[in-house]
Structure formats: structure tokens, C-alpha cells
């Protein structure tokens, strides 16, 4: 499999410094999956091309655990050595990892400069001609696709399922490498075992641009074709990362014009949800609040910033989530940290620490509780803790028809025990009000879809005096 990167301009031999690879010799790298070679087919003052060639031995690949359990001819005769796939991305990260990070000690200014770069990806698996444009054009590239006949002698065999892809544009080299690293696997499923660390890789290399990419859902669900839960988690984390960036005032999309109308910018659903909850907490006049099911503490952090709130609690059943929350809170000013009480606990067991707060928040939590334990949750929250105000958000199942990756009543996340329609949430709220002495105001969060409502729904419950 072959990838070439061409730099057109002045002093283009400096591409060797940016890639940390000498243009005047062939370099060889032994990888677990094969051997990678870096060489330069052309070097001049005005045009330099670097090539990454990956030589894979299918026999060595066949010695894995999966092949040992399911031996067959395909393990030895397949397209793996020839097509650009996730194997190429593994080599890209291994061989050009420093360049991908944007580091070049000898020429730091050039590493941060927009360069006239062209990348050629040969034999890329792709049967949908729209994918290359959908993936690369929004990033500012000119996209060219070449697809040959399977056989000139047998035209009835049709076109090849592989393409030669060319993308070109004015871009930093590190950005080009990251775009290729993230997007190439979206053309075909990854060939190696995928675990949760792949989500971290996706966020690390794509977080700055993927969150606002118009085809991000398609990219993620194709990248994690066999792991839909990972795709959904990656979407949630991208939304949260984008929200963090917005809060610091740093643009989430490097291609967005500075004078762009803010109404046209993508606002992640997580951001809208947290803002809706924060506004409801402040509107209630509460001086203290507890975030039940706080997770990694994103919402809790927003609440800690509010001067109106003098005391803030946060509880979750996940120890690892609380550990990540602690790291988040460690960067807050000391006076904000002093307001916080962090707790490990379950929402289906009575806990006296949950009592004494003016307001309780359960943001996207209730749907993670087994229906058989829902009564216990209701008693703990509305009966025992019984704060003056309770704010609950949960997905609107009606809206799921808008998600192309969901079918046949599938839920948005594998850990969801249920998802309520708008009428079901309203019926539940009415029962809670009747049994525990509250009134409720129901609203939606997010962009409204005709006939389907909004993606999230929120109930603000107020204790009757």
C-alpha cells in the first residue's frame, strides 16, 4: 500500500525536516504488521514528494488468534497487502508520528505554516463515490477520484471497488496527516482488534475539527462499524470537547470565518443541555444544588462557577468517572473547589448525603436505571431527599427517527435501559407530581423536528408548599 505527499512551493526540500526523514536515502521501519519504507521519488527547490510504502506479509497476519480458530484460504489470499486501510494509518502514526504532532524543532514556524500539499492514497477501498468528497471537501481540500475497470478485457465486470484518491489544499502538514489518519479507516472497517483506546485516538487526532465536520456521524459509525457503542461514546465526547473549547472562547472549527454569524455555528447538544439545566437551576433561586449522576463533572463544573450557588454536591456510582471529575475540578480556583462535595453513591439507595440541597439535577441519568429499580430511584429522590426543585433530562425516543444509525427501535446507547417518548415522559411526570406533591414544567432541548419534537426533554419539578 502506498501514500505519497507532495509539497509545491519554495525550498520544498524542507519537507524532509517536517517529516523528520532524510530526502536522500531510503529509510526502513519494521512494524508488527510488516515493513514500512520512506523514500522521496522527487526532490527539488519547487517540488518534493515523500512516499510511505507499507509491505504487509499476509502469512504473518494469518498467525493471529482469529485465524488460528478459523483457518481458511482467505487468511492467505486477500487484498490486505495491497489496499490502503487502517494498517496504513498504523504505519502513518508510527513513522510520521512526530510530524503529525506538529513538532519540528529545526523549523517550528514552517511546521505551523499553511503549505501547498497534495496527498495521493492508492488502492483505497471505496464503493461509494460520494464518500471522498463528503469526508475531505469540508476540510478545504480539492478532491479527485480515479476508478479503473476491473478488466479491460471483460467490461461487464464493471468498475473496481478501489479508488486512487488525490486531495490537495493549503494546509499544515500535521493537519493533513491527522485528516488521513482519522478518515482512511472510515472507508473500510479496521483490520485489527478495536477497544476503547480507539476512542481516545479519535478524540486526540480529530477532536479539533471532527466535532464540527458535517459528516462526523457517518465518519464515526463507519470507523467503528462493528462497535456502535464506541461510535456513540465518541460522539458524546466530541460534543463535550467542543463545549469545553467554546467555554474558553477558542473557535471549534479552524475553517470558520471570524465574522461568521453565530446562529449558523453548530452548537453541540451536550452544550445546549447543560446550558438549559444551568439556566433552570439559577431561575429556581436555589443557593445549593446536587448533581446526581455527575459522570466526569462537566455540568458540575458549570454550576461551581455560579456565584448564586454557595454549595454544590456531585455524586456518581462510577469510581473511574469520579476520578476523572477530580482531575477536572483540580484546575478550578480554590474558592470554587471549596463549595464542592464529591460523593460515591447509588441513586437507588437511600443516602442522607443527598438531602439538604435546594435543588437536585439528574441530567441524562434516569434512562440508565433498570425499570425494576425506577421506583427505588423515585423514592430516594422525591421521597427522602425531597429537594424544593428537581431537574431531570432524558432522551426523547420520538426523535430517534432522525438518527440514521438507529433502526428497529434501537436505543441511542447500549447502557440505556429505556427511552421515553414525549407522552411517556409526561405521564411519568404527572404520576410523580401526584404521589410526591410536586408540580412539573416539561420542555425540550435541541433543534425541533416536525412531529418528533426535540432530541432531549427536560422536566423541572417544584415542591408544592
306: CATH: 3.40.50.150
Q: In a 3-state reduction of DSSP, which class is residue 396?
A: coil
Half-sphere exposure of 387 (CA within 13 A, CB side): 29
Nearest residue to 343 via CA among 328, 332, 335, 354: 354
All cell numbers assigned to 367? 434512562
CB 274 within 8 A of CB 268: no
Q: Is residue 246 a part of any domain in this protein?
A: no
Residues 280 and 424 in one domain: yes
pLDDT score at 62 = 60
Strands 311-316 and 340-344: parallel
∠ CA 103-105-107, rounded to 5°:
95
Q: What is the mean pLDDT of the chain?
A: 84
For residue 216, what pLDDT band results from cuts at 50, 70 and 90? confident
**pLDDT at residue 266 greater than cutoff 50:** yes
Q: Is residue 242 a part of any domain in this protein?
A: no
- Tell me how far apart the alpha carbons of residues 56 and 51 are, in angstroms, rounded to a whole number: 16
CB atoms within 10 A of CB 415: 11
- Tell me how far apart the alpha carbons of residues 435 and 443 are, in angstroms, rounded to a whole number: 21
pLDDT score at 262 = 39
Q: Is residue 256 a part of any domain in this protein?
A: no
All cell numbers assigned to 401? 427517527
**pLDDT at residue 15 greater than cutoff 70:** yes
Beta strand residue intervals within 147-203, DSSP E: 162-171
Residues 188 and 294 in one domain: no
Q: Is residue 261 a part of any domain in this protein?
A: no
Residues 173 and 68 in one domain: yes
Residues 153 and 300 in one domain: no
> Is 199 buried (19+), middle (13-18) or exposed (0-12) by CB count in 10 A?
buried
For residue 457, what pLDDT band results from cuts at 50, 70 and 90? very high
Give the containing element (helix H, strand E) for 314: strand 311-316
| Overall average pLDDT of the 186-195 stretch | 65
Flag the least confident range among 51-65, 122-136, 321-335, 352-366. 51-65
Q: In a 3-state reduction of DSSP, which class is residue 2?
A: strand
Q: Which of 193, 215, 249 is the last residue of a domain?
A: 193
Nearest residue to 96 via CA among 197, 180, 189, 200: 180
φ/ψ of residue 203, rounded to 5 = -70, -40
CB 156 within 8 A of CB 67: no
Q: What Å distances lie between residue 101 and 8, 84, 203, CA to CA?
A: 22, 22, 14
CB 292 within 8 A of CB 246: no
The CATH number assigned to the domain holding 160 equals 3.30.1610.20
| Overall average pLDDT of the 119-137 stretch | 90
For residue 403, what pLDDT band results from cuts at 50, 70 and 90? confident
Q: What Å distances lie between residue 347 and 122, 351, 383, CA to CA?
A: 54, 8, 12
All cell numbers assigned to 375? 421506583
pTM of this structure:
0.57
Predicted confidence (pLDDT) per residue in 218-228, tens digit: 888 888 765 66
The strand order across the sheet containing 288-292 reads 340-344, 311-316, 288-292, 359-363, 389-395, 456-463, 438-445
Flag the least confident range among 40-54, 154-168, 188-202, 441-455. 188-202
Residues 188 and 88 in one domain: yes
Could you tell me which residue, 173 or 255, shows the higher pLDDT? 173
Nearest residue to 58 via CA among 86, 33, 29, 83: 33
Helices (runs of H) and strands (runs of E) counted in the chain: 17, 14
Q: What percent of the chain has pLDDT over 90?
A: 53
For residue 97, give its domain range.
2-193
For residue 330, what pLDDT band results from cuts at 50, 70 and 90? very high
pLDDT score at 89 = 85
- Tell me how far apart the alpha carbons of residues 196 and 137 are, in angstroms, rounded to a whole number: 29
For residue 315, what pLDDT band results from cuts at 50, 70 and 90? very high
- Tell me how far apart the alpha carbons of residues 280 and 278 are, in angstroms, rounded to a whole number: 5
Nearest residue to 87 via CA among 54, 110, 112, 60: 54
**DSSP collapsed to 3 states, 279-297:** HHHHHCCCCEEEEECCCCC
Residues 153 and 274 in one domain: no
Residues 6 and 96 in one domain: yes
pLDDT score at 43 = 94
All cell numbers assigned to 102? 506538529
Q: In a 3-state reduction of DSSP, which class is residue 189?
A: coil
For residue 192, what pLDDT band results from cuts at 50, 70 and 90? low
Residues 315 and 435 in one domain: yes
Q: Is residue 294 a part of any domain in this protein?
A: yes
- Tell me how far apart the alpha carbons of residues 307 and 134 are, in angstroms, rounded to a whole number: 45
Residues 181 and 274 in one domain: no
Residues 33 and 117 in one domain: yes
Look at the chain and count its residues: 465
Residues 23 and 109 in one domain: yes
| Overall average pLDDT of the 426-449 stretch | 95
| Overall average pLDDT of the 203-228 stretch | 79
Q: Is residue 22 a part of any domain in this protein?
A: yes
Residues 336 and 440 in one domain: yes
Q: Which of 193, 219, 244 is the last residue of a domain?
A: 193
- Tell me how far apart the alpha carbons of residues 191 and 184 are, in angstroms, rounded to a whole number: 12
Q: Is residue 357 a part of any domain in this protein?
A: yes
Total tally of structural domains belonging to the chain: 2
Q: Is residue 349 a part of any domain in this protein?
A: yes
| Overall average pLDDT of the 302-309 stretch | 94
> Is 319 buried (19+), middle (13-18) or exposed (0-12) by CB count in 10 A?
exposed
φ/ψ of residue 285, rounded to 5 = 80, 10
**pLDDT at residue 459 greater than cutoff 60:** yes
Q: Which of 193, 225, 246 is the last residue of a domain?
A: 193
Amino acid at each position: 500500500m502506498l501514500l505519497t505527499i507532495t509539497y509545491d512551493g519554495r525550498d520544498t526540500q524542507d519537507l524532509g525536516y517536517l517529516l523528520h526523514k532524510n530526502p536522500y536515502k531510503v529509510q526502513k521501519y519494521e512494524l508488527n504488521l510488516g515493513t514500512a519504507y520512506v523514500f522521496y521519488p522527487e526532490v527539488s527547490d519547487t517540488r518534493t514528494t515523500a512516499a510511505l510504502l507499507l509491505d504487509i506479509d499476509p502469512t504473518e497476519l494469518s498467525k493471529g488468534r482469529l485465524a488460528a480458530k478459523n483457518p481458511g484460504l482467505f487468511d492467505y489470499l486477500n487484498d490486505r497487502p495491497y489496499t490502503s486501510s487502517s494498517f496504513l494509518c498504523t504505519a502513518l502514526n508510527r513513522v510520521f508520528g512526530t510530524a503529525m504532532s506538529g513538532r519540528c524543532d529545526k523549523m517550528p514556524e514552517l511546521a505551523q505554516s499553511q503549505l501547498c500539499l497534495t496527498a495521493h492514497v492508492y488502492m483505497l477501498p471505496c464503493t461509494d463515490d460520494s464518500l471522498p468528497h463528503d469526508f475531505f471537501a469540508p476540510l478545504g481540500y480539492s478532491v479527485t477520484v480515479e476508478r479503473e475497470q476491473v478488466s479491460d478485457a471483460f467490461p461487464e465486470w464493471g468498475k473496481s471497488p478501489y479508488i486512487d484518491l488525490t486531495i490537495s489544499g493549503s494546509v499544515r502538514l500535521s493537519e493533513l496527516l491527522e485528516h488521513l489518519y482519522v478518515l482512511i479507516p472510515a472507508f473500510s472497517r479496521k483490520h485489527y482488534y478495536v477497544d476503547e483506546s480507539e476512542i481516545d485516538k479519535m478524540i486526540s487526532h480529530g477532536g479539533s475539527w471532527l466535532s464540527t465536520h458535517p459528516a462526523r456521524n457517518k465518519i464515526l459509525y463507519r470507523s467503528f462499524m462493528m462497535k456502535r457503542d464506541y461510535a456513540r461514546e465518541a460522539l458524546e465526547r466530541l460534543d463535550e470537547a467542543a463545549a469545553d473549547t467554546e467555554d474558553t472562547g477558542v473557535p471549534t472549527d479552524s475553517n470558520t470565518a471570524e465574522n461568521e454569524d453565530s446562529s449558523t455555528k453548530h452548537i453541540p447538544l451536550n452544550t445546549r443541555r447543560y446550558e438549559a439545566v444551568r439556566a433552570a437551576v439559577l431561575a429556581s433561586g436555589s443557593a445549593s444544588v446536587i448533581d446526581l449522576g455527575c459522570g466526569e463533572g462537566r455540568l458540575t463544573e458549570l454550576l461551581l462557577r455560579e456565584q448564586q450557588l454557595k454549595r454544590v454536591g456531585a455524586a456518581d456510582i462510577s469510581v473511574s468517572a469520579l476520578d476523572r471529575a477530580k482531575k477536572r475540578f483540580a484546575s478550578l480556583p480554590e474558592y470554587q473547589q471549596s463549595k464542592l462535595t464529591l460523593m460515591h453513591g447509588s441513586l437507588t439507595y437511600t443516602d442522607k448525603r443527598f438531602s439538604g440541597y435546594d435543588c437536585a439535577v439528574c441530567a441524562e441519568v434516569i434512562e440508565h436505571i433498570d425499570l425494576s429499580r425506577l421506583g427505588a430511584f423515585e423514592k430516594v429522590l422525591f421521597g427522602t431527599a425531597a429537594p424544593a426543585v428537581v431537574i431531570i433530562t432524558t432522551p426523547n425516543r420520538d426523535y430517534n427517527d432522525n438518527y440514521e444509525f438507529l433502526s428497529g427501535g434501537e436505543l441511542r446507547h447500549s447502557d440505556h435501559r429505556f427511552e421515553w417518548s414525549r407522552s411517556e415522559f409526561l405521564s411519568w411526570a404527572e404520576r410523580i407530581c401526584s404521589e410526591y406533591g410536586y408540580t412539573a414544567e416539561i420542555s425540550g432541548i435541541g433543534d425541533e423536528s416536525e412531529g418528533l419534537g426535540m432530541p432531549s426533554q427536560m422536566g423541572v419539578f417544584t415542591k408544592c408548599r
